[in-house]
């Protein structure tokens, strides 16, 4: 985490652009068939592991990774928010419903009163994409956080990255739901054991159980195939 934050900080200081993305089990599964998503992830400048499922899977497939390699998107978001407040970096928040983005904006300013949020907008803007890109471009933002579901956020970032006029951009998924208080984050012991998905199902069973049943099942099959191919 510290290495990632320092790397991003140095890029911002040098006024250079960096596109960051985190990969979790679901994203790795969908990347197998979604070429646009694969390209959006693969063309990012910085790719981090988000979730113990990826750590466990990498170990199973004989890659040398440990828990230290995990850089949760939610945790990175808060590290960068703190960094932005300390160094007066300008921030733009994009995503969530109207209610969620407004609560996120207010809650962040309440906790980080010196944070310079130069703009925020909900995530339902697909009929005015160019207008939103222009809003971000003219805001003076240095860091852009995009809280939209995959693969929309990755593809939006990759499509418009040259037009955004920011130094750093990352997709933060459901982070605004957590910041706004709309949903709770899993306890630390569940995070450390790769069980955050269980906590999400408990909170939103109707919406989440099919999604995780499919992605976790497909991921298990992918790992078995990878292990088998490695042994031959």
Range of the domain at 175: 17-230
Domain count, the chain: 1
Q: What is the pLDDT of residues 200-219, one digit of tens each?
A: 777 777 777 777 788 989 99
Contact 169, 161 (CB under 8 A): yes
Sheet with 90-95, strands from edge to edge, namely 46-49, 18-23, 168-171, 143-147, 90-95, 116-121
Would 10 be classed as within a structural domain? no
Would 1 be classed as within a structural domain? no
Q: What is the pLDDT of residues 3-59, one digit of tens each?
A: 999 999 999 999 999 999 999 999 999 999 999 999 999 999 999 999 889 999 999
Residue 142 is encoded by which pair of tokens? 């240095």
Contact 101, 177 (CB under 8 A): no
Would 176 be classed as within a structural domain? yes
Would 11 be classed as within a structural domain? no
Would 91 be classed as within a structural domain? yes
Would 28 be classed as within a structural domain? yes
Would 4 be classed as within a structural domain? no
How would you label 128-155 residue by residue, b for 16+ Cβ within 10 Å and e otherwise? eeeebbebbeebebbbbbbbbebbebbb
């Amino acid at each position: 985490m510290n290495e990632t934050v320092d790397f991003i900080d140095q890029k911002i200081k040098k006024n250079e652009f960096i596109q960051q993305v985190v990969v979790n089990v679901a994203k790795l599964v969908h990347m197998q068939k979604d070429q646009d998503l694969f390209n959006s992830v693969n063309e990012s400048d910085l790719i981090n592991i988000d979730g113990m499922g990826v750590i466990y899977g990498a170990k199973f497939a004989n890659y040398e990774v440990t828990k230290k390699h995990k850089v949760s998107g939610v945790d990175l978001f808060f590290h960068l928010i703190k960094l932005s407040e300390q160094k007066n970096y300008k921030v733009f928040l994009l995503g969530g419903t109207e209610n969620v983005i407004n609560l996120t904006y207010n809650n962040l300013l309440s906790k980080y009163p010196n944070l310079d949020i130069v703009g925020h907008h909900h995530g339902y803007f697909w009929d005015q994409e160019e207008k939103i890109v222009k809003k971000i471009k003219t805001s003076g933002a240095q860091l852009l956080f995009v809280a939209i579901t995959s693969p929309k956020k990755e593809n939006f970032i990759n499509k418009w990255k040259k037009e955004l006029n920011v130094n750093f951009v990352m997709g933060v998924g459901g982070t605004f739901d957590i910041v706004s208080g709309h949903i709770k984050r899993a306890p630390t012991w569940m995070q450390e054991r790769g069980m955050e998905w269980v906590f999400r199902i408990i909170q939103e069973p109707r919406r989440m159980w099919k999604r995780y049943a499919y992605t976790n099942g497909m991921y298990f099959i992918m790992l078995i195939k990878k292990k088998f191919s490695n042994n031959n």
